[in-house]
Chain A
């Protein structure tokens, strides 16, 4: 019998008993749907996070005092702060760096007239802007002279600007941090929320020297932000920095680092592997429901074979080959499974569109996954349809014809 005829026959048989067929398909529908949702939302989340992290700069290293991952928590209070000389040493001793930016930050209350807001105040050198890719919205950067002299000038992030100045232009206006009055020289383009949800635009940036002298009152450097040149391995640079800092801080070979160097790529990798573990786990769940779906199909096909014993006997008597009977039932199982698969794919994609909107990640259509899901549902049909089909094909025609 031509395969097309067998397919039509299978389709008709399935549509003849819609309720039973639907219930049989349910396991596959859920299994496939779950896989589609998981993969789609999973890759959406990964894409979003990766994108956010790369906004921070993928080749950025953050060097901070404090115990690394070895110690009990990141106790940076306990360890010695950096100083400007550390940044200079890194700049001079290590190759492949695009920018080395020492910074010192703290949260302060900013006052403009009657408006006040506690915000993140970051003292930086001009290298900081290059390292993190900040761009000006209005006004100008700090001049080298202002940096060197520690002038009371500042740049505003979009959020800080809006909160303190509303819609009026802040350029040339005054702003008070504690007792010190600052002149706003420029505003920065928005960067949006960071990966970890904090608003990067809620910031007032001032020269590092100003921060040290007029706000913090000490010469500490709390972070050293480093931009690695394109094509240079961040791992190599990280190792170089660690070696250098251990020497500079006099750490003995048997002691742990009292500082840490964080790589944004590491962060992405950690996140990606976390999502991969999640995906693997959930895929196992999906696999189980596919298995259950397959068993459902096997069960229904077994019942169907029994119910249609006389039909099978008739077909055999009329001259059907055993393989033709086998194929008939196998195709029926496969059609059942792939119908379920298609339904599951449609359902999964719709749910993904809705879900992506709800959790705020992009909807990423993965044709490969859809094809794989379809293929898998078909494979489930073959795997679980084979036994019933074999049973049908091996019926004794005489007994089958007599079956009541």
Chain B
């Protein structure tokens, strides 16, 4: 077992070709330890989301190597990457991305369905996860019947229900007011401290980044030296 859970080496990501080419990531090295809470900061367009998508195996880098725990991600097929996401990663998005007209419980169960978990077991786990985010009484409510903060908590429950190794969050508080944002951040940092969930979070709000153990500054596709 490696000491660091994640290791990016010399990662580049280029969109487009020739004159129109955009170097979204320009030779990046990054290590993230087990149980660490990392915040990715930086101005808009600096490559944070691109980096997070690569970490999340949703996108492939143009060059460089990515080790996740004991696997070299670039050697994996699309389906193997999907399996890796399914088994070891959890996602939270700025726009929540819950399924419409589907109850909170069923939204939380979704990742477990893809893991082919039996109904009773996954129901039990999903209810527990909803309880953990303080939504015990809201299982049957659909996203339309929930506030933004509640929706993001459902999304957190969905991301964590399968006990992933890493939780990846792209501006999780971007659509929330400051009180709701605080709630969500308290919750995330609680999961990080209590359960040891590794978290990588993109944000451009210093208040939110303050919850993290470490802050990484992006600028024009490179990571600035940490002060």
Within 8 A of A (CB), among B107-152: 110-111, 113-116
Residues of B near A313 (CB, < 8 A) are 97
Within 8 A of B (CB), among A1-32: 1-2, 5, 16
* Cβ of A314 under 8 Å from chain B: yes
A321 touches B97 (CB 8 A): no
CB distance from B139 to the nearest CB of A (A): 17
Within 8 A of A (CB), among B67-84: 78-79, 82-83
* Cβ of B210 under 8 Å from chain A: no
* Cβ of A318 under 8 Å from chain B: yes
CB distance from B96 to the nearest CB of A (A): 9
* Cβ of A324 under 8 Å from chain B: yes
B110 contact from A318, A321, A397, A398, Cβ within 8 A: A318
Q: How far, in whole Å, are A397 and B52 apart by their CA atoms in the complex?
A: 13
Knowing A5-B113, A397-B58, A398-B58, say if A317 contacts B85 (CB, 8 Å): yes
* Cβ of A368 under 8 Å from chain B: no
* Cβ of B93 under 8 Å from chain A: yes
* Cβ of B189 under 8 Å from chain A: no
* Cβ of A316 under 8 Å from chain B: yes
* Cβ of B224 under 8 Å from chain A: no
* Cβ of B192 under 8 Å from chain A: no
Residues of A near B83 (CB, < 8 A) are 319, 321
* Cβ of A199 under 8 Å from chain B: no
Residues of B near A16 (CB, < 8 A) are 101
B79 contact from A314, A315, A322, Cβ within 8 A: A322
* Cβ of A53 under 8 Å from chain B: no
Residues of A near B101 (CB, < 8 A) are 16
A318 contact from B78, B91, B100, Cβ within 8 A: B91
Knowing A2-B116, A311-B99, A314-B99, say if A319 contacts B87 (CB, 8 Å): yes
* Cβ of A320 under 8 Å from chain B: yes
A321 contact from B82, B93, B100, Cβ within 8 A: B82
Determine the main DSSP class of A at the interface with B.
Answer: helix
Q: How far, in whole Å, are A1 and B118 apart by their CA atoms in the complex?
A: 11
Q: How far, in whole Å, are A179 and B177 apart by their CA atoms in the complex?
A: 116
A316 touches B116 (CB 8 A): no
A316 touches B97 (CB 8 A): no
A401 touches B111 (CB 8 A): no
* Cβ of A310 under 8 Å from chain B: yes
A317 touches B113 (CB 8 A): no
Residues of B near A315 (CB, < 8 A) are 110, 114
Q: How many residues of A contact B (CB 8 A)?
A: 21
B58 touches A320 (CB 8 A): no
In chain A, what residue has the closest Cβ to B96? Answer: A314
Q: How far, in whole Å, are A323 and B82 apart by their CA atoms in the complex?
A: 11
Residues of A near B91 (CB, < 8 A) are 317-318
A320 touches B53 (CB 8 A): no
Q: How far, in whole Å, are A314 and B115 apart by their CA atoms in the complex?
A: 15
Within 8 A of B (CB), among A180-232: none
Residues of A near B116 (CB, < 8 A) are 1-2
A320 contact from B82, B89, B99, Cβ within 8 A: B82
Residues of B near A317 (CB, < 8 A) are 56, 58, 85, 91, 97
Q: How far, in whole Å, are A316 and B95 apart by their CA atoms in the complex?
A: 16
B93 touches A401 (CB 8 A): yes
CB distance from A26 to the nearest CB of B (A): 24
Knowing A316-B82, A321-B82, A398-B58, say if A1 contacts B99 (CB, 8 Å): no
* Cβ of B207 under 8 Å from chain A: no
Residues of A near B89 (CB, < 8 A) are 319
Residues of B near A318 (CB, < 8 A) are 85-86, 91, 110-111, 114, 158
Most-contacted residue by chain B among A5, A318, A397, A401 (CB, 10 A): A318
In chain A, what residue has the closest Cβ to B90? Answer: A318
Q: How far, in whole Å, are A95 and B16 apart by their CA atoms in the complex?
A: 92
Residues of A near B59 (CB, < 8 A) are 398
A1 contact from B56, B79, B85, B114, Cβ within 8 A: B114
Residues of B near A1 (CB, < 8 A) are 113-114, 116
CB distance from B159 to the nearest CB of A (A): 9
In chain B, what residue has the closest Cβ to A314? Answer: B97
Most-contacted residue by chain B among A314, A316, A317 (CB, 10 A): A317
In chain A, what residue has the closest Cβ to B83? Answer: A319
Within 8 A of B (CB), among A306-334: 310-311, 313-324
B97 touches A401 (CB 8 A): yes
B85 touches A319 (CB 8 A): yes
Residues of A near B79 (CB, < 8 A) are 321-323
> A261-297 toward B: CB 8 Å interface, digit per residue (1/0)?
0000000000000000000000000000000000000
B114 touches A319 (CB 8 A): yes
Residues of A near B85 (CB, < 8 A) are 317-319
Q: How far, in whole Å, are A318 and B56 apart by their CA atoms in the complex?
A: 10
Some 21 contacts from A to B, beta carbons below 8 A apart, are A1-B113, A311-B100, A314-B99, A315-B114, A317-B58, A318-B111, A318-B114, A318-B158, A319-B82, A319-B89, A319-B111, A320-B82, A320-B114, A322-B78, A322-B79, A324-B114, A398-B53, A398-B58, A398-B59, A401-B93, A401-B97
Sample of 5 further A-B pairs with CB below 8 A, known A316-B58, A319-B87:
A321-B82, A321-B114, A322-B78, A324-B114, A401-B93
Chain A residues in contact with chain B, CB under 8 A? Answer: 1-2, 5, 16, 310-311, 313-324, 397-398, 401
Ordered nearest first, which 4 A-B pairs have the shortest CB separation? A319-B86, A319-B85, A314-B97, A318-B111
